[in-house]
């Protein structure tokens, strides 16, 4: 008989099996809960212990003018938060509650648009929720405001004890405001991504390379360990001259605002003849509120029929083909001429027209009938030859402008089908093309053509960026580029230059001229098409232009001004020409260089005094004025990191005396400095500055050498 008693043993096994099944069910239930309802919590716990491959953004490179002035730069901005869980874990929650009134009042002083009661309620709400990322202020703040918040009770403790923490951003700022805004470009602030202009075109160069860190919790503290350091972006040096840009913008804006003009869009571009450098580029749109702002880069993207400024190219083409000479005459009648069923009209057709004109006078008076009859007479049977001549002048060249949205000119080439018939051409196409219709050319292309005339026939690539610089060293040099050595014969260039000079001195372009130097150029007044609605539907829109160069005998700059307006009066010479005149005279006045000896008299001080401050900047100014400093740098490093000191006069020579570099934790000595250097030094040390008077610093309210404290303010008295 077996000793195994199943009646006693089986219940025991059943109990064990039931217990194990219950444990298994509990484990599965716990797994399910962890994977679903508890997932967010455990992911947060894991993230708080470590974080791998965290991107560290680099500092974006600067955009500078041709002479090194900042046109776009990155400055730190912050968003500030509270981690109330860390505050409670550190045992400082009681101190926070005790200080809540002081903190709220401090935040109200910093942000007066919200009351202290609001901040108290807002912070207590986050405190009761034990939020780990409670936003204190819902907008980005600058560095000085950030330091003020950080100086408040509790917030001044380390982030592990206070819970006060922040996100840092590189905000883009333009010291010159909206100057050349669409060319320099913009950033999407919230995303820190480029939106337009050079910011977008050179984004990869300006942006730099992200660094990588990983985060570990060691002894209840989080440490950021760098795996790969970020590489800051490079700087780009543009061809823009801030003074010329400002001058062009003010001249154009003044004309657009005149009641007789009331322009919709204004464009002005200034190019340096020898290099093709764009020294100024202005794009102004009239907004709904009547103000003018840079909204679109019309200078490089507008494909419009250029009007009479194109007539210069037509006359150049026929002169270069030697089909006529400057003594050629053409009959314009009473200002109206029937051409293939359509009336070609001159601007003075209601006053009887111009009658018989020589070829130069067709340009001086901008005769539509005269130019179109000359071109049609010699090219009607072979329009391809004319259009090829226009191509040879460079007007159809794709310059690959480094601004997103730029578009090359569209000039239609006649095409014959297999039957020898033109399939994209009509009898009226050539006459109207010759006077600036039937083509679409952006202002930048028209200017490049006129610049080539000024440059003796040499067509230059419009240049916007000269160099790319990294840590003070040139990593890429972009020299001037010649697209075509000669767009026409030398004789043609000389003849057209003489004619364009006479257009200003004797013809319709008189208002663009100057009594101080010679100006050459051409006016343009064109009706603007409204697409399917044509030219005549409703009020007539006009494109008013003037393109030319100065001084005509030794050209230095070329310029084009375009104004789009609705209704009459409308005059390219009388409106755009005025802007050209003001820009040209302003530039020439800026470039006047007088000999310093002319200003000397018996009371003159031959050796200047200089304020204490950045020696590199002082050296640059003194060197530019022609003074030699015995231990200077000949003005070679005006924008390098500062070296502080003062200038000593020794007889007829100047010597720099360097001062010790101010220590970061001590109040610097700014006595004798100008406002710019004094404010720079103080704010670099985290000290807020209040200035009274002007001149140089004669007294600072906090003695040099004192230890810098959070929220410190220093009054500088200047005289």
pLDDT at 593: 54
Say if residue 215's pLDDT is above 80: no
pLDDT in tens, 1-38: 456 566 666 777 778 888 888 888 888 877 887 777 66
Percent of residues, the chain, with pLDDT higher than 70: 89
Global confidence as pTM: 0.71
Question: In sequence order, what are the beta bridge partners of 169?
Answer: 77
Identify which has the larger pLDDT, 22 or 280: 280
HSE at residue 399, side-chain half, CA atoms within 13 A, is 33
pLDDT at 172: 78
Q: Of 153, 160, 142, which is closest to residue 224 (Cα–Cα)?
A: 160
Cβ-proximal residues to 202 (8 Å cutoff; 6+ apart), any chain: 236, 402, 465, 468
Cβ-proximal residues to 719 (8 Å cutoff; 6+ apart), any chain: 693, 694, 695, 696, 698
Average predicted confidence (pLDDT) for the chain: 85
Q: Which of 62-76, 181-195, 289-303 has the highest mean pLDDT?
A: 289-303
pLDDT at 144: 82
Would you call 207 helix, strand, or coil by DSSP? helix
pLDDT in tens, 378-396: 999 999 999 999 999 999 9
Please give the DSSP secondary-structure letter assigned to residue 576: I
Distances (CA, A) of 11 to 21, 183, 547: 15, 88, 107
pLDDT in tens, 143-172: 888 888 888 988 888 877 888 888 887 777
Say if residue 608's pLDDT is above 80: no
Q: How confident is the model at residue 713 (pLDDT cuts 50, 70, 90)?
A: confident
Q: What is the mean pLDDT of residues 624-628?
A: 73
Q: Poorest-confidence range of 96-110, 199-213, 221-235?
A: 221-235
Distances (CA, A) of 544 to 354, 573, 584: 22, 8, 18
pLDDT at 1: 47
Helix axes 311-320, 368-379, angle to 10 degrees: 40
How many helices (H) and strands (E) the chain has is answered by: 22, 33
Q: What is the mean pLDDT of residues 671-691?
A: 82
Q: How confident is the model at residue 681 (pLDDT cuts 50, 70, 90)?
A: confident
Identify which has the larger pLDDT, 709 or 223: 709
User: How far is it, in rounded angstroms, from Cα 672 to Cα 689?
Assistant: 16
pLDDT at 689: 84
Say if residue 491's pLDDT is above 90: yes
pLDDT at 366: 92
Residue reference for tokens 């926070």: 96
Say if residue 563's pLDDT is above 70: yes
Q: How confident is the model at residue 484 (pLDDT cuts 50, 70, 90)?
A: very high
DSSP assignment of 269-324, as one string? EEEETTT-BEEEEEEEEE-TTS-EE--S-HHHH--B--GGGGHHHHHHHHHHTTSS
User: How far is it, in rounded angstroms, from Cα 343 to Cα 350?
Assistant: 13
Q: What is the mean pLDDT of residues 322-336?
A: 93
Percent of residues, the chain, with pLDDT higher than 90: 40
Q: What is the mean pLDDT of residues 256-260?
A: 92
pLDDT in tens, 627-667: 777 777 676 656 556 777 777 777 667 777 777 777 778 88
pLDDT at 604: 53
């Amino acid at each position: 008989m077996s000793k195994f008693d199943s009646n006693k043993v089986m219940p025991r096994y059943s109990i064990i099996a039931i217990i194990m099944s219950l444990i298994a069910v509990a484990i599965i239930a716990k797994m399910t809960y962890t994977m679903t309802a508890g997932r967010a919590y455990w992911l947060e716990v894991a993230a708080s212990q470590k974080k791998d491959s965290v991107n560290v953004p680099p500092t974006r490179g600067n955009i500078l003018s041709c002479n090194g002035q900042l046109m776009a730069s990155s400055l730190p901005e912050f968003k500030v938060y509270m981690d109330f869980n860390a505050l409670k874990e550190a045992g400082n929650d009681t101190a926070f509650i005790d200080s809540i009134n002081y903190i709220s009042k401090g935040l109200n002083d910093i942000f007066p648009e919200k009351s202290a009661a609001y901040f108290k309620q807002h912070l207590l709400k986050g405190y009761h929720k034990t939020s780990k990322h409670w936003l204190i202020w819902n907008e980005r703040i600058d560095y000085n405001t950030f330091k003020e918040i950080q100086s408040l009770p509790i917030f001044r403790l380390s982030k592990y004890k206070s819970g006060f923490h922040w996100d840092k951003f590189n905000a883009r700022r333009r010291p010159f405001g909206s100057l050349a805004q669409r060319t320099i470009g913009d950033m999407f602030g919230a995303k820190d991504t480029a939106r337009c202009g050079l910011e977008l075109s050179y984004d990869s160069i300006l942006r730099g390379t992200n660094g990588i860190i990983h985060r570990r919790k060691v002894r209840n503290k989080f440490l950021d360990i760098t795996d790969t350091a970020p590489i800051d972006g490079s700087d780009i040096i543009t061809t823009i001259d801030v003074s010329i840009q400002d001058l062009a913008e003010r001249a154009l804006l003044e004309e657009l605002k005149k009641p007789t003009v009331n322009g919709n869009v204004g464009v002005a571009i200034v190019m340096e003849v020898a290099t093709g450098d764009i020294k100024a580029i202005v794009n102004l749109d009239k907004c709904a509120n009547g103000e003018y702002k840079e909204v679109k880069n019309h200078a490089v993207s507008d494909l419009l029929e250029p009007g009479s400024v194109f007539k210069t190219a037509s006359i150049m083409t026929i002169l270069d083909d030697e089909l006529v000479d400057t003594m050629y005459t053409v009959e314009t009648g009473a200002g109206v001429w029937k051409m293939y069923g359509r009336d070609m009209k001159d601007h003075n057709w209601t006053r009887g027209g111009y009658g018989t004109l020589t070829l130069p006078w067709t340009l001086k008076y901008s005769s539509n009938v005269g130019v179109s009859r000359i071109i049609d007479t010699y090219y009607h049977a072979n329009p391809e030859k004319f259009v090829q001549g226009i191509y040879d002048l460079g007007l159809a060249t794709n310059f690959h402008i480094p601004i997103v949205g730029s578009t090359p000119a569209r000039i239609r080439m006649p095409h014959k089908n297999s039957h020898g018939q033109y399939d994209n051409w009509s009898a009226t196409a050539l006459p109207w093309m010759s006077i600036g219709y039937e083509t679409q050319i952006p202002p930048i292309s028209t200017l490049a053509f006129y610049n080539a005339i000024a440059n003796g026939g040499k067509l230059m690539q419009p240049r916007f960026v000269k160099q790319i610089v990294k840590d003070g060293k040139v990593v890429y040099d972009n020299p001037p580029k010649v697209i075509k050595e000669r767009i026409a014969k030398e004789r043609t260039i000389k003849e057209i230059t003489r004619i364009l000079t006479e257009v200003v001195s004797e013809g319709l372009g008189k208002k663009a001229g100057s009594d101080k130097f010679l100006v050459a150029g051409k006016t343009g007044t064109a009706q603007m098409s409204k697409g399917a609605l044509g030219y005549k539907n409703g009020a007539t829109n006009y494109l008013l232009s003037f393109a030319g160069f100065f001084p005509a005998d030794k050209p230095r700059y070329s310029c084009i001004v375009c104004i789009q307006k609705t209704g009459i009066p409308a005059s390219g010479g009388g409106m755009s020409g005025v802007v050209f005149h003001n820009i040209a005279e302003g530039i020439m006045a800026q470039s006047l260089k007088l000999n310093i000896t002319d200003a000397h008299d018996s009371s003159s001080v031959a050796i200047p005094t200089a304020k204490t401050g950045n020696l590199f900047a002082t050296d640059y100014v003194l060197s530019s004025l022609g003074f030699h400093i015995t231990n200077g740098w000949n003005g070679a490093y005006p924008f390098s990191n500062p070296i502080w000191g003062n200038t000593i006069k020794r007889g007829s020579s100047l010597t720099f005396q360097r001062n010790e570099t101010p220590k970061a934790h001590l109040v610097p000595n700014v006595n004798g400095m100008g406002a710019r250097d004094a404010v720079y030094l103080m704010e670099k040390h985290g000290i807020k500055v209040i200035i009274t008077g002007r001149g140089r610093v004669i007294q600072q309210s906090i003695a040099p050498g004192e230890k810098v404290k959070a929220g410190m303010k220093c009054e500088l008295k200047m005289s």
